[in-house]
Amino acid sequence: MNKRTWRPISLGTLAALLLSLITVIVGPLVAASATTFDMTGNTLAFNHTNLTATITRVATSNGVITYTAANSFTAGQLVTITGVTSNPVNRFNLANVIINTASSTTFTVLNAATGTYTSGGTATQLNDYRNVVGTGVANGDQVLYYNVATISAGNTVDAVVTTTTSNTTVSAFDGESAVPGKPGYFQPNLTLSGTNGKAVFHFAFYEHGTYTGSNTGTPVVLNNVTISSVDLDNGGSGYQFTEFGGFQQYTLTNNTMLTPAVVTGTRLERFTTRETANLADVPQDMVQVTYLTLSSIDVAVGLVGSSGAIGYFGISFSALPWGASITDPVVGSPTTIGPRAITGITTSGGTVTYTTSANHGFSVGQSVTVTGCSTSGYNGSSMTITTVASTKKFAVTKAQTGGSCPAGSATVTIPGVVTPAIGVSNVDNPANVAPTTSNTTAILTAGTATVITKNDLGAASFVDGDSNPFYKVKITGLPASGSFQHRIAGTWQNVTSNEEILTSDIDLENLRFTGSDAVHIKFRVHDGLVYSTDEYDLGITITNRSQTITFPEPGTRAVGVTFDSGVSSDSGLDVELVTTQTGVCTIVNGVQIRTGAEGECVVTASQRGNDTYSKATSVERTVHVSGRLAQAVTFADPGRQILDPNPKTIASNATADSNLTVQLVSQTLGVCTVDSLNINLIAAGPCEVWAKQEGNATYASATTIKHNFDV
């Protein structure tokens, strides 16, 4: 099948998108090729503790520096060395260098520095986080967290947190003041410098190891994310709050102490405490919000109160265990009145009136038990008092007549007070508005099955006022001719009227069209809560000529070089190169690539077609920019596989020319899994497997080889 990219958006659409960013909270949509992780049952952990070691000696030899220090470091991790005095000065203080080897007493790095060690020094292995800009407490500071989530073997996520403050000071960027013993929570401390202030923390998520600085990194998409803001109380002079936008639902306890409200002039929901005291972490001071999908998000925390007020905040990127009921009903102990001695009775019309020797203290509606009457018909348990004629008379409904009760007794039992169970309530985002998009067009090749992308169905101009994501489409009008199909569980099926299709399914190339005539497809877009009010049109025109892009693998390049991409189309039309990682590489002169910093840079080549040629299948290439040696992975496409036997195991035979071990990663665990260098086929459908080699101190990471084949 042909896979295409979309034409550039119009200036008008671009302006609309820029205006929509005024209140954007969830990050922009990333490329369809971005890795998507399902966070159901998974937690994002923001650990802010790196390993440190005290340096006692430094030696150099043949481009290797050996530091003597008792440590538990790991080769391949980054390390920063500070505080070493030497002659010449500052020879052995290094930032963000790779540990070459490590033992319990020494570690080495590759560096040509020479000199004489004098004293001191601390080594910090950046296993949990790295300060990219500042330390996180000031405006514009950035902190990179490593491995905040491990979805499966080889699938790990890093996060970059950027700080913006307003009328507050971040006194601690990420400690454990709000919820001690929970290092995976993100826990900032704020001090209010006005009467209403906040700090906004922007979380952006990337494939592990790809973010090296501004405008770098390969974004990932996280699905089904739950975020819990906990311990929203009052330290005595400030009411704490948190703000979210673009979510699908929020959840509060039935006895919540938080007041939700839309922030005036925005699409943000603020949750402000009504507590007047500083409490321990309790359910009624917590809110949970859920997102169907995101690649970045802003989380705001703040205070309303007196200048100088202090707030401790805890953000957990997980669904905390509330369950259906936070507490069970609590039944208090019953109390009794009596016993009271009975001296006589009277009966009338089905009512028995008892006379007591002293004031009984009973009330209408209470439950009374009478025992000891010589006529047993006057005895009874849990009878309801219907009237109280005097302080010594009470009556119940009873049909007994005759006989007597000269020496009975009466006791009232008052049940204990029942405290009802505390549950939780889910509320759809009150700030939600219906999304909009624009009509689209596409030029396809006659008789060729061609992938329909999200951009074909309005993604490029999708706008949602409260920043919800583009979640799914409804096909409201079918093409008059041709074959419009959706692949479900590995089988292509004709799309039906009003069929709903997830955008995540479209990203997996599970929607296609084949035809020979111009047609129209009608659709509506959905933001996870509601569909667009308007119906939109995909207009398909047909040409008899296709085109193919040739884009050689760029491999690993040094920093600061410009090279020809070698990109071309067999149509002779100009090919467009685009990258979003402009901190690592940029496009110059249309078809050349210039490297700017170490890291990975994904470049997309596209050709949108014209009246003669249909759109070309877009081609992505990754430029690895490094001062280390290059390496390449060899991994042949397994091709179409028959699931016989079931399950079935095939060898990948993946290798690296560096002789380092290649790692296989499955992106479709429901269809295929991996075991070392073998691929286990377990179900029918599309299987996507990546072969990765992330390098070491000598070799740079290799270009990841990705194959998607049918089982």
- Quick check: bond before 647 cis, omega within 30? yes
Q: Residue 482 — pLDDT band, cuts 50, 70, 90?
A: very high
Model pLDDT, residue 484:
97
How far apart are alpha carbons 393 and 361 in whole angstroms? Answer: 10
Residue 368 has pLDDT above 70, yes or no: yes
Lowest mean pLDDT of 80-94, 421-435, 521-535, name the range: 421-435
Q: Which pLDDT value is given to residue 597?
A: 83
Query: Residue 638 burial by CB count (10 A; 0-12/13-18/19+): exposed, middle or buried?
Result: buried
Could you report the per-residue pLDDT of 485-521, keeping only the tens digit for each? 999 988 999 999 999 999 988 988 899 999 999 999 9
CA distance 539 to 195: 54
For residues 92-115, average pLDDT: 89
User: What is the pLDDT at residue 77?
Assistant: 81
Contacts of 312 (CB under 8 A, 6+ apart): 177, 178, 187, 189, 231, 235
The letter for the amino acid at 23 is T
Q: What is the mean pLDDT of the chain?
A: 88
Residue 113: CB atoms within 10 Å:
16
Structural class in CATH, domain 51-125: mainly beta
Distance from the Cα of residue 419 to its chain's centroid: 36
Q: Which amino acid appears at position 89 of this protein?
A: V
Widest Cα–Cα separation across the chain: 117
What pLDDT does 556 receive?
Answer: 84
- Rounded CA-CA distance 205/149 in Å is 10
List the one residue out of 311, 398, 388 whose CA is nearest residue 349: 398
Q: Which fold has domain 434-542?
A: Immunoglobulin-like (2.60.40)
64 phi/psi in degrees, rounded to 5: -125, 130
- Taking the CB of residue 430, how many other CB atoms lie within 10 A of it? 12
Task: State pLDDT tens for residues 281-298.
Answer: 888 999 999 998 888 999
Provide the token pair at 321.
């265990």
pLDDT value at position 325?
56
Distance (Å, whole) CA 336 – CA 540: 82
Question: Tokens 């950046």 belong to which residue?
Answer: 126
Name residue 636's amino acid. A
CATH 2.40.30.20 domain range(s) in the chain: 336-413
At residue 33 the predicted structure's pLDDT band, cuts being 50, 70 and 90, is: low
28-42, 105-119, 267-281, 626-640: which range is least confident on average?
28-42
- Give the CATH class of 336-413: mainly beta
Percent of the chain with pLDDT over 70: 94
pLDDT at 353 over 70: yes
Alpha-carbon distance of 689 to 664, in angstroms, equals 7
DSSP 410-473: EEEEEPPPEEPPEEEEEEE-TT----B---EEEEEETT--EEPPTGGGTGGG-B-TT-----EE
Per the CB < 8 A criterion, the answer to whether 7 and 442 are in contact is no
Beta bridge pairs of residue 550: 568
Does 198 have pLDDT greater than 80?
yes
The partner residues of 164 in beta bridges, in order of sequence, read 200
Strands 122-125 and 576-579: unpaired
Q: Is the pLDDT of residue 550 over 90?
A: yes
Residue range 411-419: average pLDDT? Answer: 82
Model confidence over 580-621: pLDDT tens digits? 888 899 999 999 999 988 888 999 999 988 888 988 888 999
Q: In the predicted model, what is the mean pLDDT of residues 661-686?
A: 91
Contacts of residue 20, defined as CB under 8 A and 6 or more positions apart, other chains included, come to 463, 464, 465, 467
Name the token pair of 209. 């190891």
Chain centre distance of CA 72: 31
Question: Which amino acid makes up residue 593?
Answer: I
Task: Assign 626 to helix, strand or coil.
Answer: coil
| pLDDT of amino acid 55 | 96
User: Residue 8: is its pLDDT beyond 80?
Assistant: no
Q: Where in the chain is the domain with CATH 2.60.40.1080?
A: 549-625
Does the pLDDT at position 19 exceed 60?
no
- Residue 260 and residue 157: Cα distance in Å, rounded? 32
Preceding amide of 552 cis, omega within 30: no
- Measured over the CA atoms of residue 693, residue 142, residue 146 and residue 227, the dihedral's sign is negative
The predicted model gives 163-170 an average pLDDT of: 96
Residue 6 above 90 pLDDT? no
Tally Cβ neighbours within 10 Å of residue 524: 24
d(CA 229, CA 471): 25
DSSP 364: T
Q: Stretch 387-412: mean pLDDT, rounded?
A: 90
Q: Bigger pLDDT: 24 or 535?
A: 535
pLDDT at 142 over 90: yes
Tokens found for residue 524: 């509506």
According to the model, what pLDDT value does residue 20 have?
Answer: 30
14-28, 31-45, 204-218, range with the lowest pLDDT:
14-28
pLDDT in the model for residue 23: 29
Is the pLDDT assigned to residue 128 strictly greater than 50? yes
Element (H, E) at 692: strand 686-692
- Each residue of 135-157: b (16+ CB within 10 Å) or e? ebbeeebbbbbbebbebeebbbb
Range 154-163 average pLDDT: 90
Out of 1.25.10, 3.30.420, 3.40.1130, 2.60.40, the CATH code matching 633-710 is 2.60.40
Architecture of domain 549-625: Sandwich (2.60)
Give the global pTM: 0.69
Ranges of CATH 2.40.30.180 domains, the chain = 51-125
Helix H segments across 257-392? none
Report the distance separating Cα 522 and Cα 26, nearest Å: 27
Dihedral angle at the C-alpha atoms of 7, 8, 11, 15, nearest 10 degrees? 110
In the chain, count H helices and then E strands.
2, 61
* pLDDT score for 670: 87
pLDDT for 30 equals 43
The answer on pLDDT for 31 being more than 70 is no
Query: CATH 2.60.530.10 in the chain, residues?
Result: 129-321
The mean pLDDT of 269-289, rounded to a whole number, is 91
Positive or negative: CA dihedral 74, 79, 83, 84: positive
Mean pLDDT of 400-421: 84
- What backbone torsions phi and psi does residue 377 show, to the nearest 5 degrees? -65, -15
**How many angstroms separate the CA atoms of 541 and 534, rounded?**
23
Task: Assess whether pLDDT exceeds 60 at residue 15.
Answer: no
**Which one is predicted more confidently, 216 or 576?**
576
Say whether 178 sits in a helix, a strand or coil. coil
pLDDT of residue 565: 94
Position 641 pLDDT exceeds 60: yes
Q: Provide the pLDDT for residue 42.
A: 84
Q: Which CATH entry fits the domain spanning 129-321: 2.40.37.10, 2.60.530.10, 1.10.760.10, 2.40.50.180?
A: 2.60.530.10
Contacts of 405 (CB under 8 A, 6+ apart): 342, 344, 345, 354, 370, 372, 373, 374, 375, 378
CA 219 to chain centre: 13
- What residue spans of 471-512 are helical by DSSP H? 503-507
Q: What is the number of residues in the chain?
A: 711
According to the model, what pLDDT value does residue 176 have? 85
- Please give the pLDDT value at position 110: 83
**204 forms bridges with which residues in the sheet?**
160, 296
pLDDT, position 153 = 64
Residue 697 above 50 pLDDT?
Answer: yes
pLDDT at 323: 56
